[in-house]
Amino acid sequence: MKICQVEKTLVATARIGELGNKRLLVVQERGSTSKQVAVDPVGCKPGDWVIVCGSSAARDAAGSKEYPSDFTIVGIIDYWEDDAAAEGAH
């Protein structure tokens, strides 16, 4: 699973029906400028460090085998002191 930081909620009104009205968050992977969209069944707030699961497991984690997610938050990390910024300077 990836270690990501929550940035903000993403609004996408035009969407396929299977997505339903689950909450979508923009998250940034640790040590990267890459941003992705994750389904949030946990209830996160901006700034939280979270564990995000991909692959087919992201579907069950979002609530059902049929749910169209490839990236779902499965937990909030209690405490994370990030060292990626320092590493990124190399």
Q: Between 48 and 87, how does the x/- string for binding to a second copy read (CB under 8 A)?
A: ---x-xxxxxxxxx----xxxxxxx-xxxxxx----x--x
Q: Which listed residue (14, 47, 81, 85) binds a second copy by CB under 8 A?
A: 14
**Exactly one of 21, 34, 81, 85 binds a second copy (CB under 8 A); which one?**
34
Q: Is 19 in the site for a second copy (CB under 8 A)?
A: yes
Give the CA radius of gyration of the chain.
13
Length of the chain: 90
The answer to whether the beta carbons of residues 22 and 3 sit under 8 Å apart is no
Burial of 60: CB neighbours in 10 Å, binned 0-12, 13-18, 19+? middle
41: Cα within 13 Å, side-chain hemisphere: 17
Q: Taking CB under 8 A as the rule, does residue 23 contact a second copy?
A: no
- Binding residues (CB under 8 A) for a second copy: these are 1-3, 10-16, 18-19, 24, 26, 30-31, 33-38, 41-43, 51, 53-61, 66-72, 74-79, 84, 87-88
